[in-house]
């Protein structure tokens, strides 16, 4: 990536590295997200157990994800660990890196359209967004939610605002949060199956009128999964609660039992 973070990482931080040199008992790497920072991984921090050949685990020029163990102030050097990074942490860091790389590509496209270099686009808008929101991806999500006012507040040039908003809307999906419950229904009416179907249908029709995004799945009698989707946790809670209550109210007009199992 073109953008490099200022300063140095902190102890226990998860960082993206590029393998630079492999020695018999250590590996030297460049910290990809920072400028001119180098780290060292001792053989004992490559993988659990005995290691016969470090090259079985790392390859020069390849990216790896490490954890910062120790910082040497003033030397810009760091002791790192490869084996202490959990699969979950590595996956999260990879995803973060991919999202930020994708966001930087959008800046590059804006620059190409305006005949400006990536460096110029960073100076005119990129650095400001990162300073305000912590990352380009986070800033672009805010732009998706609030529109071009985010850029106007930062006094970004008009010639940049239009193309940037356009590319963001084309290439980034709004965030989506899901939440679900399991509804268990037993009806003692002669037409009990129809009652249950109509209760679920009432929930679907309510959601359609409100333009809510929901999905009802049959799990096997008497269990039905109600899943709601929205752009944030507050909204998804509202969608789920209102739709669930609509189903309950319809069903309770008949003889039967209904209960909710939180997922």
**Which DSSP string do the residues of 95-114 spell out, in sequence order?**
HHHHHHHHHHHHHHHHHHHH
| H or E element in which residue 81 lies | strand 77-81
Quickly name the fold that domain 88-171 has: DNA polymerase; domain 1 (1.10.150)
Sequence spans of domains, the chain: 14-85, 88-171, 177-262
> 177-262 maps to which CATH number?
3.30.70.1130
Q: List the Cα angle 91/93/97 in 5-degree steps.
A: 115
pLDDT digit string, tens, across residues 124-181: 999 999 999 999 999 999 998 889 999 999 999 999 999 999 999 999 887 778 999 9
Neighbours of 6 (CB within 10 A): 8
What is the Cα–Cα distance from 212 to 229, expressed in whole angstroms?
8
68-77, 101-110, 191-200: least confidently modelled range:
68-77
CATH of 14-85, one of 2.40.50.140, 3.20.20.70, 3.40.640.10, 3.30.465.10: 2.40.50.140
pLDDT of the residue at 220:
87
What is the Cα–Cα distance from 105 to 133, expressed in whole angstroms?
18
């Amino acid at each position: 990536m073109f953008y490099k973070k200022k300063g140095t990482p902190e102890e226990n931080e998860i960082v993206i590295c590029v393998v630079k040199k492999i020695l018999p008992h250590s590996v030297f790497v460049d910290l990809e997200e920072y400028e001119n920072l180098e780290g060292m991984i001792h053989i004992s921090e490559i993988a659990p157990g005995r290691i016969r050949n470090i090259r079985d685990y790392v390859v020069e020029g390849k990216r790896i994800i490490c954890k910062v163990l120790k910082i040497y102030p003033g030397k810009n050097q760091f002791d790192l660990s490869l084996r202490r990074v959990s699969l979950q942490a590595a996956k999260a860091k990879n995803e973060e890196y991919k999202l930020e790389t994708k966001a930087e590509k959008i800046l590059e496209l804006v620059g190409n359209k305006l005949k400006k270099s990536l460096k110029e686009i960073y100076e005119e808008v990129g650095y400001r967004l990162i300073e305000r929101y912590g990352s380009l991806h986070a800033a672009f999500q805010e732009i998706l939610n609030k529109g071009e006012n985010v850029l106007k507040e930062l006094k970004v040039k008009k010639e940049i605002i239009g193309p940037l908003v356009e590319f963001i809307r084309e290439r980034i999906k709004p965030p989506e949060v899901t939440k679900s419950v399991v509804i268990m229904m037993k009806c003692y009416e002669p037409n009990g199956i129809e009652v249950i179907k109509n209760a679920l249908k009432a929930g679907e029709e309510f959601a359609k009128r409100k333009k809510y995004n929901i999905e009802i799945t049959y799990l096997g009698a008497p269990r039905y999964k109600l899943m709601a989707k929205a752009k944030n946790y507050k909204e998804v809670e509202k969608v789920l609660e209102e739709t669930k209550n609509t189903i309950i109210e319809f069903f309770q007009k008949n003889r039967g039992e209904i209960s909710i199992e939180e997922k």
